[in-house]
Amino acid sequence: MNPPGRVTSNDRDTWPFYAFALAGSFLPYLAILPYLYLNCGLSVAEITWLTAAGNVAITLLEVPTGALADRYGRRMSLVTGMVLVMAGLGLTMILPKTFLTFLVWVIIHASGVAFVSGADQALLYDYLAATGRKEKFHAITGRYSGLGRACGFVATVAAGPLLVWGGFNLVLAVALGAQAVAFVAALRMPAMGETPARGRRRPPYREVVSQAWREMRLGRDLLFCLVFSALLLTAAGLAWEYRSLLVEVKVPAHPEAVSAVTAVLTLLFSLSMFLAGYTKRLFARDRALVSYLVMPLGIIGAALLPGPWGLAALVVYIAGGGVFNVHFRVVLNEAIRTPELRATILSTINLADRGVYTLFALGFGAAATFGFTWALAASGALLVVLYLLILAVRWVPGQRASSRGQSGGTW
């Protein structure tokens, strides 16, 4: 008998999800996009405007696309997302490479990302639940996420040679081919929710959104997950964005060595997500969330500890981050009581994550002008305080009992 959460040969029907993660993450242009923009004649100010446009587009579309996925089906949402990504790549290859062309591309690409965000995780969870394998979500989503990260790393390595061999258009063409594979994989995914059950109407778009927000507002489990998820992403992203700078500070070396160590850390994060499925028994729900303090404490250690000790703290932070990221997806999905609203709720939580991280990053950026390492350590300390605060609120006697009574949703 296989241990709970262990992926076996009986899970071969999940191959479209793995193929989608691999191909959809192969976007070699992402690693060198600013360099490509500069070589096309754009100014730094124009590049900044493009980055902002993409973030604004995803922010505005996150919840609407999640509701559309719940209303018309998650597979349809994934297919639509891939069509948009491919359309943006194709237009950029054909049209003159100007600021306006890149702006259209960024907005179309962001729209595609928004359609995928939340829908893939919702489809995977509900498909496993419908086939009696919900306990395997922990293992399968870890592999799904880890494969995506690993493929993103390979794409980063391939970006330079592709640019040398064939220029910007070859980089885009390879990405387009990979997204076409992801499109086919999305078509092969199970159709969940695309056709309303017999005797049931398809709810209006506004009703989907209002019901999802009502469930989050009344369900304390989901409110807790929303806040905790936002802090988790902030902790996960803060040191991750500056990992190469931390490597340089802790172990001064040639740029090639810094790049190599940073690449190894990236692979370590992918591996930790891939193997997270074997850690489920280490976590007892709720109170084991204290272990998530490894991440902000790792940030503090990476900032303040000298030399190799600081680098070791960074390794612990990255390895723990991959495991906790996967585990919390299980906590989050199990807190959703109405499966028909899953994509909308996940998209709303993604929106909260993005907002909190943006505000925190802006604050860190301002503080870093007075000292990078001390600003990073102070940020980690603030995250520790916030973690403990929301966990203390979570553990107020009787609160969990009341949350069970309020979080159940009906369609």
Mean pLDDT value across the chain: 83
Q: What span, in angstroms and rounded, lies between the C-alpha atoms of 204 and 72?
A: 10
- What is the distance between the alpha carbons of residues 316 and 314, in angstroms, rounded to a whole number? 5
Q: What is the pLDDT of residue 201?
A: 61
Domain spanning 211-406, CATH class: mainly alpha
Least confident of 4-18, 94-108, 133-147, 316-330: 4-18
Please check the confidence at residue 409 and state whether its pLDDT lies above 50.
no
H or E element at residue 379: helix 372-394
What is the mean predicted confidence (pLDDT) over 20-41? 88
Model confidence at 374: pLDDT above 50:
yes
- Domain positions in the chain are 1-193, 211-406
- pLDDT of res. 10: 67
pLDDT of residue 78: 96
* In the predicted structure, residue 401 carries a pLDDT above the cut 70: no
pLDDT surpassing 60 at residue 400: no
Whole-Å CA distances, 212 to 50, 62, 208, 292:
32, 14, 6, 27
DSSP code per residue over 206-226: HHHHHHHHHHHHH-HHHHHHH
Minimal CA–CA distance to 244: which of 264, 258, 255? Answer: 258
pLDDT at 404: 44
State the burial class of residue 354 (Cβ atoms within 10 Å of its Cβ: 0-12, 13-18, 19+): middle
Element (H, E) at 261: helix 255-274
Q: Has residue 195 got a pLDDT over 70?
A: no
Average the pLDDT over each of 56-65, 136-145, 342-351, 355-364 and give the range with the smallest value: 355-364
How sure is the predictor about 174, in pLDDT bands with cuts at 50, 70 and 90?
very high
* Spatial separation of the C-alpha atoms in residues 49 and 32, rounded to whole Å: 17
| Identity at 313, one-letter amino acid code | A
**Looking at residue 194, what is its pLDDT?**
66
Do residues 146 and 7 lie in contact, with contact meaning Cβ atoms separated by under 8 Å? no
DSSP helix/strand/coil, 312: helix
Residue 82: band (very low, low, confident or very high) from pLDDT cuts 50, 70, 90: very high
Range ranked top by mean pLDDT from 28-42, 142-156, 183-197: 142-156
What is the pLDDT, as a whole number, of residue 1?
37
C-alpha 89/C-alpha 33 separation (Å) is: 13
Q: Give the pLDDT confidence score for residue 339 in this predicted structure.
A: 86
Highest mean pLDDT among 237-241, 318-322, 396-400: 318-322
The confidence score (pLDDT) of residue 238 equals 73
Percent of the chain clearing pLDDT 70 (strictly above)? 88
The confidence score (pLDDT) of residue 403 equals: 44
Residue type, 266: T
**Assigned token pair, 143:** 């592999």
CATH fold of the domain at 1-193: Growth Hormone; Chain: A; (1.20.1250)
- In this prediction, residue 27 has a pLDDT band, given cuts at 50, 70 and 90, of very high
Model confidence pLDDT, tens digit, residues 265-275 = 888 988 898 88
Q: State the pLDDT confidence band at 263, using cuts at 50, 70 and 90.
A: confident
CA 173 to each of CA 46, 87, 135: distance values in angstroms, whole numbers, following the listed order? 24, 12, 39
